[in-house]
Structure 1
Amino acid sequence: MKKIDGKMMIQFIKFGIVGVSNTLVSLIVYYIFIFFGAHYIVANTAGFVLGTLNAYFWNNKFVFKQEQTEKRSHAKTGIKVFIAYGITYLLSTVLLVLWVDVLGISLEIAPILNVCVTTPLNFIMNKLWAFNERENE
């Protein structure tokens, strides 16, 4: 297991900042869909797609910046980002059903609870796999 160093901590903080924008994009889309009467799973899916596009753009430019000596396949990295976020999307959907249908938590609060679970998991998958220079050669 790799030791957490200062650079990784800074990346996690930046990832958190980008995560706030992803969350805002996802939640805004989610609430717009809910407002217009969409099922919460449909709303969550739309929020996921737009939030993931936002995540890829900002993580690529701000968090896991490509070094001048590094060669990164944007297509391969983009696919990996969607897979990583797809895994947490599936987890998020299961958790939404648990929060809303099983535990009776409100539609407005449930997606916020998911962020506490999915953010650390997304960071690990993006840091160690999707944006890993050795994995993208």
Structure 2
Amino acid sequence: MIKKIKEKFLNKQFLTFGLIGAFNTIASQVLYIIFVNINLAPSLSSFSGDAITMVISYFMNMKFTYHEKCTWKNAVSFPLSYLPGMIINMLIVMLAVNVGVPKTYAKLISLPITIPVNYICMSIIVRLTGNKSSQK
């Protein structure tokens, strides 16, 4: 089991995904803080920041992580890969704020859970919608 976990998460593809994710996480966090500061609800601020950065993530991950062409099929399917992570993130933000975590930092608490969830879901979607000749 540990070998399977290492194979899935300790490789170049996951590292690339992580670097792109780090960029998108920072961008999403900045948007979240902006939205919270204009009095948007923390859960909606979190969801909005994630939705905006998802577009950037799509193009970067298709090119650099999965080496796939951007197509309408995978562009339409891509948001499905983010949905579980976005929902988990939104719920964790709501819970964190309700237990007293400052709104500005609540989103950061979800990262250890949402990053692996997003990677697994995105890998499945890309495998199902990607160019069959480029898959290993």
Deviation, structure 1 residue 87 = 1.5
Q: Which has the higher helix share?
A: 2
Deviations 1:100-128 (CA, angstroms, capped at 9, x unpaired)? 11x2111122111111110011111112x
Deviations 1:69-97 (CA, angstroms, capped at 9, x unpaired)? xxx67222122220111111111111111
1:104 aligned onto 2:106 = no
- State percent identity of aligned pairs: 23
Superposition TM-score, scaled by structure 1 size: 0.82
For the 8 Å contact 2:93–2:107, the answer to whether it is kept is yes
* Count of residues in Structure 1 that have an aligned counterpart in Structure 2: 128
Q: How does 1:30-49 map to 2 (within 5 A)?
A: 30-49=32-51
User: What is the rounded CA distance, in whole Å, between the counterparts of 2:36 and 2:106 in structure 1?
Assistant: 13
User: What is the rounded CA distance, in whole Å, between the counterparts of 2:41 and 2:78 in structure 1?
Assistant: 26
Flag the 1:79–1:8 CA change in 2: closer, same or farther, 3 A: farther
For the 8 Å contact 1:25–1:50, the answer to whether it is kept is no
User: What is the rounded CA distance, in whole Å, between the counterparts of 1:83 and 1:75 in structure 2?
Assistant: 14
For the 8 Å contact 1:27–1:47, the answer to whether it is kept is yes
Deviations 1:24-81 (CA, angstroms, capped at 9, x unpaired)? 1211111111122222122112101111111111101111112xxxxx6722212222
For the 8 Å contact 1:85–1:122, the answer to whether it is kept is yes
Q: Which runs of 4+ in 1 moved over 6 A?
A: none
Unpaired runs of 5+ in structure 2?
Answer: none
Superposition TM-score, scaled by structure 2 size: 0.83
Q: Per the alignment, in what secondary structure is the counterpart of residue 58 of structure 2?
A: helix
Q: How does 1:50-65 map to 2 (within 5 A)?
A: 50-65=52-67
Unpaired runs of 5+ in structure 1?
Answer: 67-71
